[in-house]
Every structure is written in C-alpha cells, then in structure tokens.
Amino acid sequence: MQLLKKISFGARVAEEETNELGNYFVETDQWERIYNGEIDVVKGDKGAGKSAIYSLLSAKSDDLFDKRILLITAEEPRGTPVFKELVTDLRGRTAATSTPARY
C-alpha cells in the first residue's frame, strides 16, 4: 500500500501538467499522423486526450514550423475561444472579426 501512495499518475487533466506530459505521453499512430500534418482537425469526447495533443503540439510548434506545418489553435486549453480578429488579408484589414465557439 505504501508503494501505491508514492506513485504519481499525473494530474487529473492535461492542462495542469503541460511540462511533464511529454515524459509519459504514448505516441500512437494517430499522434504521428497529426504531428506529420496528415490530420488537420482533432475531435473527441471529453477526456479523449485532445488537450494533451494540443499541449504537445504547442510545445513542438517550432519543429512543426520547420516542417512547413503551421499550427493554429481554435481555443485555449481551458476553453476560452481565441479566434477573434485572427484572419487578416495582406493589406492588414481584418477579414473576419470573430468565430463563434462551438462545443
């Protein structure tokens, strides 16, 4: 029983341990496809690992950029929409001022 008390299984949600997540995240075939740019949108039920994937992709955004993969996130990991005034044309004018949050 003492051994179980010493074991850490990580935080309840990925957002609370972004620094440690890479140490135990299992890189599946789906992860490789996402990381290599073969999958553009990640959808899943609550607890499916979307935030973990988001955190790892964000941590590797420079590597992705070097591979000519541009990472654009649709929301903050804690659920706050961030696609306000994101799309801008070459002249600097805002092409879209907001995108509704969909959950």
Whether residue 82 is contained in a domain is answered as yes
91 and 43 both lie in a single domain: no
What is the DSSP code string of 42-88?
----TTSSHHHHHHHHHHTHHHHHHTT-----SB-TTS-B--SS--B
- Express each pLDDT in 50-77 by its tens digit: 888 888 888 888 998 998 888 876 665 5
Q: Which two tokens stand for residue 57?
A: 């992709």
This model's pTM is above 0.75: no
Between the CA of residue 7 and those of 2, 4, 10, 17, what are the distances in Å?
Answer: 9, 5, 9, 16
Domain extent, residue 98, equals 78-103
Q: Which two tokens stand for residue 55?
A: 């955190």
49 and 18 both lie in a single domain: yes
Count of domains in the chain?
2
